[in-house]
Amino acid sequence: MIPLGARAAGEDGAEPRVTAGELLAVLGLRRWTLGVAESLTGGGVTSALVAVPGTSAVLRGGIVAYATDLKAGLLGVDAGLLAERGAVDPDVASQMAAGVRIATGADVGISTTGVAGPDPQDGNSPGVVYIAVSGPGIDQVRRLDLSGSRPDVIAGAVAGALELALGTISDLSGAVAKG
């Protein structure tokens, strides 16, 4: 398997739609629903999912919380955490994924937050991205260090989020259990 975020959409013949379709199939077999919280990807993860026929059986919805205050207001991310560390943070990604589960009533949540560029944000360079997956007994967060143009970083974040979710749901033994 290609490392998370190692390619942008379309490179090496891999399309987000393929990963999205596999993820939706795995979730469907478990009878789990999905919610998506996005910042830097601006709806790209949700768009990749809705491109797959039959998505409505699994996808509950997506929230684009681009502004930092919306991460707290819509997704329940701790405002103190946002004030202290900013939006580009692994704990923020984790709370976004958990928050979208609540907001959409989904079994599983995926989130993306990071810096698409060209300018740094919250002391983070362009290409620093955190993706997270939250679900029953699941709390996975990964940092991606992506390169390229703004569209390249966004595409890599979309692909990375879908791959992390697929890998986590497919192999729950690798997930970190939360009490």
Span 64-99, pLDDT tens digits: 999 999 999 999 999 999 999 999 999 999 999 999
Sheet strands (E) in the chain:
34-38, 59-64, 108-114, 128-135, 138-145
On the question of pLDDT at 102 being above 60, the answer is yes
Give percent of the chain with pLDDT exceeding 90.
84
Edge-first strand listing for the sheet containing 59-64: 59-64, 34-38, 108-114, 128-135, 138-145
Our count of domains for the chain comes to 1
Which CATH number is 93's domain given? 3.90.950.20
For residue 86, being part of any structural domain is answered with yes
For residue 161, being part of any structural domain is answered with yes
DSSP letter assigned to residue 112: E
For residue 108, being part of any structural domain is answered with yes
The C-alpha atoms of residue 149 and residue 170 are separated, in whole angstroms, by 31
Q: Is pTM beyond 0.85 here?
A: yes
Give bridge partners of residue 128 from the DSSP assignment: 145
Q: For 106-127, how does the pLDDT look when each residue is reduced to its tens digit (9 = 90+)? A: 999 999 999 999 999 989 999 9
Range in 11-20, 23-32, 110-119 the model is least confident about: 11-20
Element (H, E) at 10: none
For residue 179, being part of any structural domain is answered with no
On the question of pLDDT at 13 being above 90, the answer is no
Q: Give the mean pLDDT of 16-33.
A: 92
For residue 76, being part of any structural domain is answered with yes
CA geometry: angle 140, 142, 146, nearest 5 deg: 155
On the question of pLDDT at 7 being above 50, the answer is no
Average pLDDT, the chain: 89
Residue 105 contacts by C-beta under 8 Å, 6 or more apart in sequence?
33, 35, 60
For residue 50, being part of any structural domain is answered with yes
Q: CA–CA distance from 109 to each of 7, 49, 76, 147, 148 (Å)?
A: 23, 13, 13, 26, 27
* 72 φ/ψ sector (left φ>0, alpha ψ -120 to 50, else beta): alpha
Q: Give the mean pLDDT of 45-51.
A: 97
For residue 89, being part of any structural domain is answered with yes
Helices (H), 31-144: 44-50, 68-75, 79-85, 90-104
Per-residue pLDDT at 18: 82
Segments forming the whole domain that contains residue 48: 13-170
Per-residue pLDDT at 15: 62
The C-alpha atoms of residue 127 and residue 76 are separated, in whole angstroms, by 25
